[in-house]
């Protein structure tokens, strides 16, 4: 079982903090995402605490959940942002995250996006290739600015995670191969509108072991030493994100143990450390609440058909991801085995196969756990299903932080040319 202490059962009803999820469902309708503000804050503060002994900038990975209420919560706690698009820079800035706490990652930054980031005055570009370096230099020169950069290094380390979210192997599209790094830094140093300040590494997401981080940081430490010998002024090491969460029965290293690894491998270099956590801040701070539409008895199995689908939460179909599925009201303690599926017209629209869930009937509320990260942000309107609203809870209060769109607005977004 996951340790979801912010979604406890009280008298057999699941709460979000001190709010009964039945009350939210009655007001908002299902499906909806629900986030615990306190959990987000606690997760952030755990990182702060763990990295106290190192000069650290925590740059929340906005891609995990870019809701303005989430970003504002983190902004107020002092968080920076790791962004991968102009849209994410705009989101972070709108929520009050200062530009000088923003690092900008991503393999395909467009010219206009680079221009925007430079105009805002972000802390650092995490540059993923030599051509990108050239382009940033060109744009900076046109704007008469200097771009502070780190090169993202691909250390060729196996993260032991799902192949689709593994980024630090030489066959992945990310970063500059470590074997070419010294050459790339030499090239960077020659560019007049580039200021080399750091080294960046991110080897993947949902890591459940520390050894891959340790190996990557060891390689990065050696590189920083070499780069300094080559005459580069390296003062920042961005160690990426990636610490996993418990979805099922994974045991995840403590944030302190992760921080200790960074200190042991990199501390002697006296650099400012940047971390880019996403999932470990938001994942277990959010759930997706859905209703049972039908219970259907097939030839061999029972289907629990929900009003949430793969368009709302794509992780199970995309990464074979496991999410705990729990009855919001545990009045019925008998467990039954179901295939838990959504309404979308694809067999892949399956949240779990042969899963034991409290015996349920049409209209019952079901919570899909650990959905705060890479849930709402990856949702789509496939099958012309409206994006699920998002709700945030703090203590005994809740608020809708993104409304359910209405059909007319969605249809009106399409334009029909005269000649059709």
Q: Which of 240, 309, 316, 342 binds ligand LLP (CB under 6 A)?
A: 240
Q: Between residues 18 and 46, which has the closer beta carbon with respect to ligand LLP? A: 46
Please tell me whether residue 280 binds ligand LLP under the rule CB under 6 A: yes
Whole-number minimum distance, CB 409 to ligand LLP, in Å?
A: 27
Contact pick of 99, 135, 143, 165 for ligand LLP (by CB under 6 A): 165
Q: From residue 52 to residue 91, what is the string marking binding to ligand LLP with x (rule CB under 6 A)?
A: ---------x-xx-----------------x---------
CB 19 within 8 A of CB 398: yes
Q: How far is the CB of 242 from ligand LLP (least distance, A)?
A: 4
CB 135, min distance to ligand LLP, A: 19
Q: Which of 93, 219, 279, 394 binds ligand LLP (CB under 6 A)?
A: 279
Rounded-to-integer distance, Cα 256 and Cα 278, Å: 17
CB 296 within 8 A of CB 362: no
Per residue, what are the HEC states of the chain? Answer: CCCCCCCCEECCEEEECCEEHHHHHHHHCCCEEEEEHHHHHHHHHHHHHHCCCCCEEEEEEHHHCCCHHHHHHHHHCCCEEEECCHHHHHHHHHCCCCHHHEEECCCCCCHHHHHHHHHHCCCEEEECCHHHHHHHHHHHHHHCCCEEEEEEEECCCCCCCCHHHECCCCCCCCCEEHHHHHHHHHHHHHCCCEEEEEEECCCECCECCCHHHHHHHHHHHHHHHHHHHCCCCCCEEECCCCECCCCCCCCCCCHHHHHHHHHHHHHHHCCEEEECCCHHHHHHHEEEEEEEEEEEECCCCEEEEECCCCCCCCHHHHHCCCCCEEECECCCCCEEEEEEECCCCCCCCEEEEEEEEECCCCCCEEEECCCCCCCHHHCCCHHHCCCCCEEEEECCEEEEEECCCCHHHHHHCCCCCCCC
Among 17, 113, 276, 324, binds ligand LLP (CB under 6 A): 276
Smallest gap, in angstroms, from Cβ of residue 277 to ligand LLP?
4
Part of the chain binding ligand LLP (CB under 6 A), chosen from 32-40, 65-73, 199-207, 296-304: 199-207
In the residue annotation, 345 being an active-site residue is answered as yes
Closer residue to ligand LLP (CB): 312 or 364: 312
How many other C-beta atoms are found inside a 10 Å radius of the C-beta of residue 182?
15
Rounded to whole angstroms, how far apart are CA atoms 43 and 199? 26
Separation CA 152–CA 131 (nearest Å): 13
Contact segment (CB under 6 A) with ligand LLP among 44-52, 117-125, 272-280, 381-389 equals: 272-280
CA distances to 91, 127, 194, 215 from 73, in Å: 13, 28, 33, 33
Whichever of 28 and 281 has its CB closer to ligand LLP, that residue is 281
Q: Which two tokens stand for residue 54?
A: 């190192």
Q: Is 277 in the site for ligand LLP (CB under 6 A)?
A: yes
205 touches ligand LLP by CB under 6 A: yes
Q: Does 315 bind ligand LLP (CB under 6 A)?
A: yes
Q: Minimum distance between the CB of residue 73 and ligand LLP, rounded to whole angstroms?
A: 17
Stretch that binds ligand LLP, among 70-78, 117-125, 238-246, 395-403 (CB under 6 A): 238-246
Q: Residue 39 or 64: which CB sits closer to ligand LLP?
A: 64
CA distance 223 to 172: 20
Which is catalytic among the residues 34, 158, 345, 371?
Answer: 345
Kindly state the smallest distance separating residue 384's Cβ from ligand LLP, in Å.
23
- Residue 319 engages ligand LLP in binding (rule: CB under 6 A): yes
* Span from 128-136, 222-230, 234-242, 408-416 in contact with ligand LLP (CB under 6 A): 234-242
Selected from 66, 168, 242, 342, the binder of ligand LLP by CB under 6 A is 242
Binding mask 87-116 for ligand LLP (x = CB under 6 A): ------------------x-----------
User: Which 340-399 residues touch ligand LLP, going by CB under 6 A?
Assistant: 373-374
The residues assigned a catalytic role are: 345
Q: Which chain residues interact with ligand LLP by CB under 6 A? A: 61, 63-64, 82, 105, 165, 202, 205-206, 240-242, 276-280, 315, 319, 373-374
């Amino acid at each position: 079982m996951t340790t979801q202490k912010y979604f406890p059962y009280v008298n057999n009803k699941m709460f979000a903090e001190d709010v009964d999820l039945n009350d939210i469902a009655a007001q908002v309708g299902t499906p909806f995402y629900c986030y615990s503000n306190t959990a987000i804050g606690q997760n952030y503060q755990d990182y702060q605490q763990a990295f106290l002994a190192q000069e650290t900038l925590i740059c929340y990975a906005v891609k995990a959940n870019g809701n303005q209420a989430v970003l504002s919560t983190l902004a107020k706690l002092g968080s920076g942002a790791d962004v991968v698009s102009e849209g994410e820079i705009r989101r972070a800035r709108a929520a009050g995250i200062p530009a000088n706490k923003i690092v900008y990652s991503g393999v395909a930054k467009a010219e206009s996006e680079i221009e925007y980031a430079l105009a805002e005055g972000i802390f650092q570009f995490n540059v993923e290739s030599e051509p990108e370096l050239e382009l940033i230099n060109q744009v900076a020169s046109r704007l008469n600015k200097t771009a502070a950069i780190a090169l993202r290094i691909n250390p060729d380390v196996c993260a032991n995670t799902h192949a689709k979210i593994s980024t630090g192997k030489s066959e992945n599209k990310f970063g500059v191969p470590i074997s070419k790094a010294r050459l790339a830094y030499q090239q960077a140093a020659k560019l007049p509108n580039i200021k080399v300040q750091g080294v960046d590494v991110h080897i993947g997401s949902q890591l459940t072991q520390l050894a891959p981080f340790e190996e990557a940081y060891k390689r990065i430490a050696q590189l920083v030493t070499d780069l300094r010998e080559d005459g580069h002024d390296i003062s920042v090491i961005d160690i990426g994100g990636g610490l996993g969460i418990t979805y099922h029965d994974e045991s995840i290293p403590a944030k302190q143990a992760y921080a200790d690894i960074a200190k042991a491998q990199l501390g002697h270099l006296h650099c400012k450390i940047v971390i880019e956590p996403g999932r470990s801040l938001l994942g277990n701070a959010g759930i997706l609440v859905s209703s049972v539409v039908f219970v259907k008895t097939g030839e061999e199995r029972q289907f629990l058909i929900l009003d949430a689908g793969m368009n709302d939460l794509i992780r199970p179909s995309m990464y074979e991801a496991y999410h705990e599925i729990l009855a919001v009201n545990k009045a019925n303690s008998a467990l039954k085995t179901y295939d838990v599926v959504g309404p979308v017209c694809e067999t892949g629209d399956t949240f779990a196969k042969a899963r034991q869930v409290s015996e349920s009937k049409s209209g019952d509320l079901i919570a899909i756990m650990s959905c705060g990260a890479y849930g709402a942000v990856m949702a789509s309107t496939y099958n012309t299903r409206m994006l699920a609203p998002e709700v945030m809870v703090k203590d005994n209060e809740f608020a809708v932080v993104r409304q359910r769109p209405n059909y007319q607005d969605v249809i009106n977004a399409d334009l029909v040319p005269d000649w059709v």
